[in-house]
C-alpha cells in the first residue's frame, strides 16, 4: 500500500470501518492516523476510546498515537485501555446497578487459580473447573445463571469456587467482562458511554470474543474502526471467536479495506513470511522499500545436534549482533515455555548480553519503575506489606493486569527478603530501563503469544520441531490450523533478520536425552531461508564470506 493509499484509507468516510492489516503493514500507524483525524470529527466534550488486549500493546498504541497528535492532544482526547481495563472501569463506576459494591477488590488473572487451589479436593481437576468457569461467564448472565450452568456440568470444584466467590462478595477476572456486558445492555448506561466516546478504535479484532465485540459496540455507536488480520488469530484457547466476529463485522462495516505492503520487514524476512502465509492461503506481501535493507536483510535455517548447542549459538549470535549494533533489538521467541528452558539457562549462566524475560514481572520496566517509586517514598522501617500497598496504590485503579504483575513481583521479592532494608537493596539494584520505550535494546526472551503485536530487528525461533511447532496439544483441525497462524505471528515479528532452528536431540524432564522430529513446516521454511551459517555470520559481522 502506497502513501496515497494510506491517506485514502485513513480518510475513508464511514461510521463503521473494517481494515485487514497483514503483519507489518502499518496497523498501529493506521490507528494513530485515524485517531489524529477523528479529533476534528468528535464533539468538543467527547473522547476517542482505543481498545486493545495486552498492557504492552496498550503502551505501544498509546505511544504511537501520542507521537502522532502530540502529548497534550492525546491526553485531552484519547483513552487507551485493554478490554479488561475498560470493563473494570465500567463495573467500578456502575456496578451498584447489579448489586456490586464500588469497593470490590480488583481481581487479577491469578484470582481464579488461587481460588481453585483453595477449594480443590482429591479427585478434582482444576483445569476442567477453570475452563468451565471461564466458558460459563462469556455471556451477559447473572450469578444465579452461571451457577445453574455449573450445576448442569456437574463439576463440584467449579461449583464450590463459584459459591465461595459469591459468599465472599468477590469478583473474578472473567466476571469483569461479564458484568460490563450486562451493564452496557442497559440502554441508559450504554447511552452515557456513547455520549462520552465519539469514536472507538479496536485493535486486533480477530482476537475478540463475541462478548468483547458487544462491549465495544455498546460503548460507542459512531466512528467505529476495527483493525486486524484473521490470519493472526491465535487466541481461540482464551475465548476468541474469530470467525463469528469477522462475519459480524463484515455485515456491520461492509467490504473491508485491505493493506498489502510491509513497512516492517526486509525482503529476506518477507520471503520466509510469504511461505508461511501461503500455507494459510494468503497473498504475498511486498517490501515498501526493499533497497533500504542491507543485503536485502537476512534469513537462515540452522540445525544443531542438541538443544544446548542451539542455545549456545543463539547466545553467541546475539552477542555478535549487539557488539556490532548496541541499539539492536533481538527477540528469541518460542511456542512453548518448556522449549525455552535451555536458552534461558544459557543466558543466565553466561555474561556479556543484556536480556529480559518477558514472563517475569521483576524484569518488566514498568513494574520496576513502580516498585522503585514505592520503595523510595517510604521510611526504612516500613513493613513489607506496606511496600505492597504503596506499590498497588500507584497502579491505575482500572488496570487489573498491572495490578496482577505488581502482586507477582512482590510475591517474588518477599520470598527473598526478610525486611525493608533487604528489599530496598534488591529493588534499587534492579536494572532501570525506559518504561515508555516500545522495545528496549538487547535480547528479549519470550513466548509466541506474549510477542503478539511486537517487533524486533532480529528474531530467533528455536525449536522448529514436531510437538513444539506445532504444539503437541493441538489435536483438532481447528487447533492445528491455529498453530499455522502462531508460526506466522512468530515469523512476522522480525524486521531485518530471521533465524529459525531445530535440535536433533533434547533432554527430558527426567534428565534423559531423546531424539526429535523436524516440524512438518521445516522443509518449506528452510528452503525460503537463503543464507548459510557462514553467510549469516559474515552478514552479522559485516565481512565477506571466507573461502
Per-residue pLDDT tens over the stretch 157-205: 999 999 999 999 999 999 999 999 999 999 999 999 999 999 999 999 9
Beta strands in 204-241 (DSSP E): 224-228
Specify the pLDDT at position 6.
46
Specify the pLDDT at position 546.
52
Q: Which of 384, 402, 428 represents a domain boundary (last residue)?
A: 428
Same domain for 11 and 69, yes or no, is yes
Same domain for 532 and 453, yes or no, is yes
User: Which range of residues forms the domain containing residue 522?
Assistant: 267-354+441-541
Same domain for 137 and 209, yes or no, is no
Establish if 513 belongs to a structural domain.
Answer: yes
Establish if 346 belongs to a structural domain.
Answer: yes
Edge-to-edge strand ranges of the sheet holding 494-503: 298-304, 494-503, 456-461, 329-334, 442-447, 355-357
Q: Residue 257 pLDDT > 90, yes or no?
A: yes
- The CATH number linked to 298 is 3.40.50.300
Q: Which of 144, 170, 196 represents a domain boundary (last residue)?
A: 170
Local structure of 388: helix, strand or coil: helix
Q: Residue 16 pLDDT > 60, yes or no?
A: yes
Specify the pLDDT at position 547.
44
CA angle 66, 200, 93 (to 5 degrees): 95
Specify the pLDDT at position 8.
46
Query: Residues 25-77: pLDDT tens digits?
Result: 999 999 999 999 999 999 999 999 999 998 889 999 999 999 999 999 999 99
Backbone φ and ψ for 281, nearest 5 degrees, come out as: 85, 20
Establish if 434 belongs to a structural domain.
Answer: no
Specify the pLDDT at position 319.
96
264: cell is: 516492517
Q: Residue 395 pLDDT > 90, yes or no?
A: yes
Specify the pLDDT at position 175.
98
Specify the pLDDT at position 67.
94
Same domain for 529 and 463, yes or no, is yes
Same domain for 350 and 463, yes or no, is yes
Same domain for 338 and 475, yes or no, is yes
Count how many domains the chain has.
4
Mean pLDDT of the region 371-395: 92
Instruction: Check: CB of residue 84 under 8 Å from CB of residue 400.
Output: yes
Same domain for 449 and 533, yes or no, is yes
pTM for this predicted structure: 0.92
Q: Residue 434 pLDDT > 90, yes or no?
A: no
* Residue with the larger pLDDT of the pair 461 and 542: 461
Same domain for 344 and 453, yes or no, is yes
Please give the share of the chain, as a percent, with pLDDT higher than 90: 84
The Cα–Cα gap between 235 and 232 comes to 9
Establish if 128 belongs to a structural domain.
Answer: yes
Query: Residues 286-313: pLDDT tens digits?
Result: 999 999 999 999 999 999 999 999 999 9
How many Cβ atoms from other residues are within 10 Å of residue 108's Cβ?
Answer: 22
Q: Residue 545 pLDDT > 80, yes or no?
A: no
Q: Residue 209 pLDDT > 80, yes or no?
A: yes
Same domain for 448 and 323, yes or no, is yes
Same domain for 534 and 482, yes or no, is yes
Query: Residues 468-480: pLDDT tens digits?
Result: 999 999 999 999 9
Q: Residue 1's pLDDT band (boundaries 50, 70, 90)? A: very low
State the average pLDDT for the chain: 93
Establish if 547 belongs to a structural domain.
Answer: no
Q: Residue 426's pLDDT band (boundaries 50, 70, 90)? A: confident
* Residue with the larger pLDDT of the pair 152 and 350: 152
Same domain for 410 and 479, yes or no, is no
Establish if 40 belongs to a structural domain.
Answer: yes
Q: Which of 398, 428, 458 represents a domain boundary (last residue)?
A: 428
Same domain for 213 and 271, yes or no, is no
Establish if 303 belongs to a structural domain.
Answer: yes
Establish if 176 belongs to a structural domain.
Answer: no
Instruction: Check: CB of residue 528 under 8 Å from CB of residue 479.
Output: no
Q: Residue 266's pLDDT band (boundaries 50, 70, 90)? A: very high
The Cα–Cα gap between 317 and 26 comes to 29
Amino acid at each position: 500500500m502506497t502513501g496515497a493509499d494510506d491517506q485514502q484509507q485513513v480518510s475513508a468516510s464511514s461510521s463503521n470501518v473494517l481494515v485487514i492489516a497483514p503483519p507489518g503493514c502499518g496497523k498501529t500507524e493506521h490507528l494513530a492516523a485515524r485517531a489524529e483525524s477523528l479529533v476534528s470529527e468528535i464533539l468538543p466534550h467527547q473522547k476517542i476510546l482505543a481498545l486493545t488486549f495486552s498492557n504492552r500493546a496498550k503502551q505501544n498504541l498509546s505511544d504511537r498515537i501520542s507521537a502522532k497528535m502530540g502529548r497534550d492532544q492525546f491526553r485531552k482526547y484519547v483513552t487507551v485501555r485493554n478490554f479488561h481495563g475498560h470493563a473494570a472501569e465500567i463495573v467500578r463506576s456502575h456496578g451498584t446497578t447489579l448489586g456490586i459494591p464500588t469497593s470490590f477488590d480488583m481481581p487479577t488473572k491469578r484470582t481464579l487459580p488461587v481460588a481453585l487451589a483453595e477449594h480443590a479436593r482429591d479427585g478434582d481437576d482444576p483445569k476442567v473447573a477453570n475452563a468451565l468457569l471461564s466458558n460459563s461467564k462469556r455471556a451477559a448472565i447473572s450469578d444465579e445463571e452461571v451457577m445453574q450452568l455449573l450445576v448442569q456440568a456437574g463439576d463440584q470444584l467449579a461449583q464450590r469456587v463459584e459459591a465461595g466467590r459469591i459468599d465472599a462478595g468477590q469478583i473474578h477476572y472473567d466476571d469483569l467482562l461479564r458484568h460490563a456486558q450486562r451493564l452496557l445492555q442497559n440502554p441508559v448506561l450504554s447511552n452515557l458511554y456513547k455520549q462520552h466516546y465519539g469514536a472507538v478504535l479496536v485493535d486486533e479484532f480477530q482476537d475478540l470474543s463475541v462478548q468483547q465485540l458487544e462491549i465495544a459496540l455498546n460503548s460507542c455507536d459512531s466512528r467505529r474502526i476495527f483493525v486486524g488480520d484473521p490470519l493472526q488469530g491465535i487466541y481461540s484457547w482464551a475465548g476468541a471467536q474469530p470467525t463469528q466476529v469477522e462475519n459480524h463485522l463484515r455485515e456491520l462495516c461492509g467490504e473491508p479495506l485491505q493493506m498489502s505492503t510491509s513497512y516492517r520487514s526486509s525482503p529476506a524476512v518477507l520471503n520466509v513470511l510469504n511461505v508461511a502465509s501461503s500455507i494459510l492461503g494468503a497473498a504475498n506481501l511486498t517490501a515498501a522499500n526493499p533497497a533500504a535493507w542491507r543485503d536485502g536483510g537476512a534469513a537462515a535455517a540452522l540445525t544443531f545436534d542438541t538443544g544446548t548447542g542451539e542455545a549456545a549459538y543463539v547466545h553467541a549470535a546475539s552477542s555478535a549482533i549487539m557488539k556490532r549494533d548496541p541499539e539492536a533489538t533481538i527477540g528469541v521467541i518460542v511456542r512453548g515455555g518448556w522449549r525455552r528452558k535451555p536458552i534461558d539457562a544459557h543466558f543466565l549462566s553466561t555474561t556479556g548480553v543484556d536480556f529480559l524475560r518477558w514472563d517475569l514481572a521483576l524484569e518488566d520496566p514498568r513494574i520496576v519503575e513502580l516498585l522503585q517509586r514505592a520503595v523510595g517514598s517510604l521510611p526504612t522501617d516500613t513493613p513489607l506489606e506496606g511496600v505492597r500497598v504503596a506499590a498497588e496504590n500507584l497502579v491505575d485503579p482500572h488496570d487489573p493486569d498491572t495490578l496482577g504483575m505488581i502482586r507477582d513481583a512482590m510475591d517474588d521479592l518477599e520470598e527473598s527478603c526478610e525486611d525493608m532494608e533487604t528489599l530496598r537493596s534488591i529493588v534499587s539494584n534492579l536494572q532501570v530501563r525506559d518504561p515508555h520505550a516500545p522495545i528496549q535494546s538487547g535480547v528479549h526472551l519470550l513466548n509466541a503469544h506474549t510477542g503478539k503485536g511486537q517487533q524486533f530487528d532480529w528474531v530467533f525461533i528455536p525449536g522448529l520441531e514436531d510437538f513444539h511447532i506445532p504444539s503437541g496439544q493441538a489435536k483438532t483441525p481447528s487447533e492445528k490450523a491455529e498453530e499455522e497462524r502462531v508460526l506466522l505471528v512468530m515469523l512476522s515479528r522480525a524486521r531485518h533478520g530471521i533465524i529459525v532452528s531445530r535440535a536433533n536431540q533434547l533432554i527430558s524432564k527426567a534428565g534423559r536425552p531423546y531424539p526429535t522430529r523436524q516440524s512438518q513446516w521445516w522443509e518449506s521454511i528452510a528452503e525460503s531461508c537463503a543464507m548459510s551459517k557462514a553467510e549469516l555470520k559474515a552478514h552479522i559481522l559485516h565481512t565477506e564470506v571466507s573461502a
